[in-house]
Structure 1
Amino acid sequence: MDATIGDPNTAWSVERAFEGRPQPGVWGQVTPRAMLIAILLGIIFCFVSLRIHMVVGIVPGLNMPTSVLSFYCLKWVVTLLRRCGIIALPFTRQENIFLLTSVNICITIALTGGFATYIIGMTSTVARTFADDIDPREIVEHVPTGQWMLFLFLIGLMGILSIIPFKEIMLIDYRLLFPTGTVTAHLINSFHTPQGAYVANLQVMALLKSFAGSFSWSLFQWFYTAGNDCGFQSFPAFGLELYKRRFYFDFSATYIGLGIICPILVNFSLLFGSIISWGFLYPYLESKKGQWYHTNSPTSLDGSNGYKVFLGITMILTDGIFNFLTLIIRASIDFYHKWQQKDSGMTNYSTKHTSLNYDDRKRNGVFLINQMPISILLSGYITFATVCSVVIPSIFNQIKYYHVAALYAFAPLFSFCNAYGTGVTDWSVAPTYAKITIFVIAAWVGKPDAIIASLVSCGITMAAVHCSSQVMQDLKTGYMTLTSSRAMVIGQIFGVIIGAIINPCIYLAFETTAKLNAPIGSRQSEYPCPYSGVYRAIGLMGIGGVKELPQHCILFCLIAFFITAAINFLRLVAQKKGWGVQNYVPSMTAIAIPFFTGSFFTIDMCLGHALLLVWTKINRQSAELLSSALAAGLICGEGLFQMPAALLSIFKVHPPICMKFIPSGKEVQVVDSFLRNLETPSRT
């Protein structure tokens, strides 16, 4: 039973532990030092997130490392200022949450900005993976950086405005859990106690050590990459034949760190998918050339490429729609039960729940202070929706103002449904909303502008739905740490601004380091962007642009559909019944990703998880406490090395050595002969 206000001894109270500390005002929470650190951490984590998103397609939650570093950086800055004799405001958890909120939204902009999905899907690089002859009207080769920044700012801001009017309903009326936001709040609250600060210091030391090792290893590898397919990244650990099948270990600290963070089902689902596709299925399909298909083109959809593309898309779409329907049903049932209780506001809630404890009453009081009127929020949303309906078509002329207006008319409904589902299950299905939008808009527009228009609409929907769920997670964290909701909204808007500015610049840095013969989005690139092809293919399906497929392709897709649906149904029943088999049911989306990208990163990730299992066996407490911090350091170290690598490339400083592997026999003799000729001085 809940503790009453008059009897604080019946339950432990978080807020009573902080009762003696002053409550800062809004501008005591929104500080210049927090803003500066938010920019720094935003650059770091956006670099890391974008690199992972462009290679793997699956980005793990980075809440723990962002929470630890935001606490540690602010604490270090305050300590430094005081040692220098500068009077500094006290370091509070509310300022910590403002900083963390800004960084989280900045990362969200990186993941919804299209850098690895719909923007790349517009390019000729991705278009050529579906057809040899491309209609130039279905391509946007380059979006000017300034326009891209404006586009990201508008769609990110609309994501915030679409959900803010519902924050009181979700957090106070229906008291949704928002598990990630709740866990982050507990983490920050604990950090601001002596014991929690000690744990945070341990985690930061582990992160910094692994960061230094990862950065140094990346620098060492760079010296051997003076050419295509050179260096440790192309090390044929399992032989040259498997290397041709993209099955090798590439010594990447990033993917080893990812394997430590990602659940075991994701890691081994990726490995299983890579073995099934590149190990068995693709060689079998290649053996059917001349029987099931006759084209030699590696990109035409009526050749072997048709199987590869549509098998992966079938599994991803089926998995996404199944999860989407599951979430909608669960959220609807939960909403119906809460509606039956008729908790229509704070007054009714306080009247019916007289045992509301001290913490909840304190949090409700702070949260409801300085609430903005609904009329102002609605007016702001309508105004910015109107601006977007004019500005976005001027950036992408393939989409019309009425398409944008229609999307923003439905955006609040989509945002509410997804945020409510996230509050109940901690599960956002924003990509599924985006894929459905692609299909609908492509069918609505028709040729020749349908592909680009549908991909732009995908970005609008993705930002609105995904940003809104992140906003509510952060508001839940702010609610549980007595952070002003006004300060939280300022932090979210500031996060959108820095995200819209730095993310296109980071993308340009990646574009600079990409190999000339393997640009971003190509299957041979170190940044293949697996989802970019998926999104473009859905647009092609929406306009009926896929008419000729190789023999038995539809049959393979039907088999993949039924297998995916059956596995998802098995997982759902196992979770409902509490069967132990639920811990061994694979993720079908994770299985599908290697169908597009290859197998190399899956081996690294499984190795990372194997190391975690060994660590847990040796010292479980140490592994649970420090593994996420260690993984974050590995990921950040290699990810941030791309910054100096890009600068070196800009200044024409290239690696001095190419380390390449070739098969034995005549190839070795040819290379040796060539090298001997190079060493022979020329005669004049």
Structure 2
Amino acid sequence: MDATIGESAPSVERAFEGQPYPGYWGQVTLRSMLVAVVLGAMFSLMTIRIYMQVGIVGAFNMPMNILSFVTVKSLVSLMRRCGINVSPFTRQENIFLQTSAITCVNVALSSGLATYTIAMTSAVAKALSPNPDERDILYDLTMGKYGVFLLITGLVGITSMLPLVKIMIVDYRLLFPTGSVVAHLIISFHTPQGAYVAKLQSYALRKAFIGSFMWSLFQWFYTGGSSCGFQVFPTFGLELYKRSRFYFDFSASLVGLAMIIPHVVNFGLLFGGILSGAIIFPFLETKRGQWYTTESPSTLNGINGYKIFIGLTMVVTEGIFNFITLTTAMLIDFYKKRQEKDTGVTKYILKHPSLNYDDRKRLEVFFGTRIPVLGGAVAYIVCAIICSVITSWIFHEIQFHHLALLHIVLPFVTFSNTYGTGLTDWSVAPTYSKFALFIVAAWIAKPGAVVASLAASGVTLISLNISSQAVQDFKTCYMTLTSPRAVVTGHIYGAVIGSIINPLLLLLFEANAKKTAPIGTKKSEYPCPSAGIYRAIGLLGMGGVKELPKHCLTFCFITILITLSLEILRLVSQRKDWKVQFYIPCMTAFALPFLVGPTFTVDVALGSILLILWTKVNRQSAELLSSAVAAGLVSGDGIWYLPSSLLGLFNVEPPICMRFLSSGKQVQVADAFLNNLGTQGMTR
């Protein structure tokens, strides 16, 4: 039953009945387009930075909704005080703004800056093999080509779901939980009480932002050299810091991120860090010379092979299990609806002859301004052909016929993924992209196959991520009487600004990364743990298993059994409503420390602990303001990245280097050196 139906429910649209309905240009406004660029750029920067560092990132939908409302509302108020007559800020314009900004961020998430794009570079290739084939490394991806690739694949994702919108939202009445929550949030913001709540959230966000920014500025003064500052503070002792990189790096953005990520994920990261850094890796170190002989830490036939493939096994096994679970749930639900013969809006209205005022208004606006199915289908075919041609031109290793077949299959996969998202609020686009990666690598199976398969993975990931989010936006559009054409415009505009912003972000990160530790390497500030997974899958598809060290496959098999057991236990406990479901770790989170080390795990665990304590002290305050505080912590630390990068470009170095030494002989040597240095300075 549709959650929006019910005569007993209070009418939402009656509260807006006296307000004139804005036309297309009342929803697609210049001020919202400008604000969307700012918000899209800011959240894309924060998202990519965290994704590169941690390999997992939370959803910023709620913080972005708060910021978009407060920003435009404040802008309108300021202009009116200056005597400028401007139109009011409506919920429909709000939807266009947040659709544009979120699409931009979705392009960033799918752009491969932390996954498949970085996996094509020589740094990641050499991290998995000392002498990788040059044909499996991409050297000539210019920013112009990269931007065009992001734009055209984004348009494929947008157009692929257009024929599905009516089926998903009206015919099958899927809930799309995030889209529904966003709709209720924006509707509440545009009522007097909701505006007051938004002001409280905005105030909390500003305080957290200022505190986070000032803390990042304070830390900068102590980073005047390699391995200096609070980011290398040996919180749990020098031994743990040296051996397993287990410490707290005082990152406000990671603490804030943990407040919007489920506790089970954060504690899964912590336990994965403890298991890998304190138990498994030290054990494997003792087997050097017996199970493997290489001293290099970056080859697959050494200890790195265990690390990469144990982590990869967890991620892939959980992804396949979730894919099967989600597909099964989709097929059962789809079969039930077909048995009911509930396939059209006419029968929908006949089954509910007493549709309330809200639902009639929603259907009227939705059908009155939607894009025809034929138009969406033609747009997808045109975009798919263009994408196949352009992608094969940018990535010479993949041929047109590979991409053409991929685009023939994509609509079916899009339907499956979007339907599952509508039921569970969960997209398995990364799993589909890994399937495409493996299949294309095995299909080509010659030098160049890794780059080709990574490109195919990118097309799949961008298309599916954007299409599933797009239908979420259409659910919001439906519930707020927003024109579907305005929402499609927001999607296209967001894809355009995303295709411009993300190549610039790549240049920014590359300029800021140290030459001795480029992006994608373990010692880098941006290790990109997921990039190693993507490239390893490509190598596996080409038959790289034979290079693995002794007993590596045995470890992988044991990992598969453990992962499947935990996933089955989680599924059963959810069905039976057992409390144990809240304590079963997320295996993807568990796997990340195997790939990049446990550096960030203490930060995210601390964020969860703080939120739990806040909830115990004042649950209502925590539920109302935690997302805003999290956004402020992440934003403050993220925005500091821009001035710090500019200071670096102008060769402005921090004045102090704070480092830590073991007591005893090391301190005596350092003291003697410093005293001698001071004596020489006085002599001169």
Contact 1:510 1:642 in 2 (8 A): no
Displacement after TM superposition at 1:599 (Å): 1.3
- 3-state SS of 1:547 partner: helix
Matching residue of 2:38: 40
CA distance in 1, matches of 2:103, 2:648: 30
Structure-2 residue corresponding to 1:272: 271
Q: Which aligned pairs between 1:239-638 and structure 2 lie closer than 5 A?
A: 239-244=237-242, 245-638=244-637
Task: Give matches, 1:230-241, under 5 Å.
Answer: 230-241=228-239
CA distance in 2, matches of 1:624, 1:370: 36
Structure-1 residue corresponding to 2:13: 15
Percent same amino acid at aligned positions? 57
Specify the alignment match of 1:81 in structure 2: 79
Runs (5+) with no aligned partner, structure 1: none
CA distance in 2, matches of 1:79, 1:578: 49
Which residue of 2 is the match for residue 166 of structure 1?
164
Write the mapping of 1:160-239 to structure 2, written as runs, cut at 5 A.
Answer: 160-239=158-237
CA displacement, residues 50-77 of structure 1 (integer Å, 9 cap, x when unaligned): 1111111111111110010011011011
Q: Is the 8 A contact 1:56 1:530 kept in 2?
A: yes
Offset, 1:492: 0.5
Q: 1:31 aligns with which of 15, 29, 32?
A: 29
Q: Is the 8 A contact 1:4 1:356 kept in 2?
A: no
Counterpart-to-counterpart distance in 2, 1:337 and 1:356: 23
Deviation (angstroms), 1:286:
0.1
Q: Distance in 2 between matches of 1:305 and 1:158?
A: 37
Equivalent residue of 1:600, what SS? Answer: coil
Contact 1:60 1:258 in 2 (8 A): yes
Cα offsets for 1:288-323 (capped at 9, x unmatched): 111111111111211111110110000100000000
Paired with 2:630 and 2:406, the residues of 1 have a C-alpha distance of 39
Matches of 1:656 and 1:329, distance apart in 2: 59
Tell me the SS of whatever aligns to 2:97. Answer: helix
When the two structures are superposed, what TM-score results if normalisation uses the length of structure 2? 0.98
1:237 corresponds to which letter in structure 2?
T
The answer to whether the Cα contact below 8 Å between 1:3 and 1:11 also exists between their aligned partners in 2 is no
Asked whether the equivalents of residues 513 and 645 of structure 1 are also in contact (C-alpha less than 8 Å), the reply is no
Q: Which structure 2 residues correspond to residues 93-112 of structure 1 after superposition, within 5 A?
A: 93-112=91-110
Report the CA distance between 1:268 and its aligned residue.
Answer: 0.7
Deviates more, 1:517-526 or 1:466-475: 517-526
How far did residue 2 of structure 1 move?
A: 9.1
Task: Name the residue aligned to 2:124.
Answer: 126
The SS at the match of 1:586 is coil
**Farther off after superposition, 636-645 or 659-668:** 659-668
Alpha-carbon distance change, 3 to 492 in structure 1, aligned in 2, over 3 angstroms: closer
Moved more, 598-607 or 150-159: 598-607
CA contact (8 A) 1:3 1:357 kept: no
- Cα distance, 1:4 vs. partner? 12
Name the structure 1 match of 2:662: 663
String of CA shifts for 1:73-93, please: whole Å, max 9, x gaps. 110111111111111011100
How much does 1:142 deviate? 5.1
How far apart in 2 are the matches of 1:55 and 1:443?
Answer: 30
Does the CA-based 8 Å contact 1:292-1:551 persist in structure 2?
yes
Whether the aligned pair in 1 keeps the contact of 2:160 and 2:376 (CA below 8 Å) is no
Bigger mean CA offset, 654-663 vs 44-53: 654-663
Q: Distance in 2 between matches of 1:498 and 1:626?
A: 30
CA contact (8 A) 1:99 1:491 kept: yes
Residues 359-368 or 671-680, more deviating: 671-680
Q: Deviations over 1:211-239 (max 9, x none)?
A: 00001110111111122211000000111
1-structure distance, mates of 2:576, 2:324: 19
Q: Over aligned residue pairs, what C-alpha RMSD do you find?
A: 1.5
CA distance in 1, matches of 2:529, 2:95: 34
Aligned 8 A contact 2:2 2:173 in 1: no
Q: CA contact under 8 A between 2:162 and 2:371: conserved in structure 1?
A: no
Separation in structure 1 between the aligned mates of residue 528 and residue 608 of structure 2, nearest angstrom: 23
2-structure distance, mates of 1:444, 1:646: 43
Q: Which residue of 2 aligns with 1:651?
A: 650
Change (3 A) 1:66 1:141: same
Are residues 1:54 and 2:85 paired? no
Give the Cα separation in 2 of the matches to 1:585 and 1:531: 22
Q: What is the alpha-carbon distance in structure 1 between the residues aligned to residue 350 and residue 593 of structure 2?
A: 55
Q: Distance in 1 between matches of 2:9 and 2:111?
A: 45
CA distance in 2 between partners of 1:490 and 1:30 (Å) = 8
Separation (CA, whole Å) in 1 of partners of 2:622 and 2:145: 45
Structure 2 distance, partners of 1:56, 1:312, is 14
Change in 2 beyond 3 A, CA 1:539/1:667: same
Q: Which runs of 4+ in 1 moved over 4 A?
A: 1-5
Aligned-partner Cα distance in 1 for 2:542–2:397: 14
Deviations 1:333-366 (A, max 9, x none): 1111111222222112111221322211111110
* Alpha-carbon distance in 2 for matches of 1:428, 1:649: 39
The number of residue pairs the alignment matches comes to: 682
Distance in 2 between residues matched to 1:381 and 1:74, nearest whole Å:
33
The residue identity in structure 2 corresponding to 1:154 is I
For 1:55 and 1:101, how far apart are their aligned partners in 2?
26
Consecutive unaligned residues in structure 2, runs of 5 or more: none
Go from structure 1 to structure 2 and tell me whether the alpha carbon gap of 1:101 and 1:4 turns closer, same or farther (over 3 Å shift).
Answer: closer
Q: Distance in 2 between matches of 1:593 and 1:246?
A: 14
Q: For the residues of structure 2 that align with 1:357 and 1:346, how far apart are their CA atoms?
A: 15
Give yes or no for contact 2:3–2:175 (8 Å, CA) kept in 1. no
User: Which digits, 9 at most, give the CA deviation of each residue in 1:644-670, with x for residues without a partner?
Assistant: 111111122121211111222322222
Q: Is the 8 A contact 1:231 1:660 kept in 2?
A: yes
Indicate the larger mover: 354-363 or 39-48. 354-363
Do the aligned partners of 1:123 and 1:142 also contact (CA within 8 Å) in 2?
no
Kept in 1, the 8 Å contact 2:313–2:559? The answer is yes
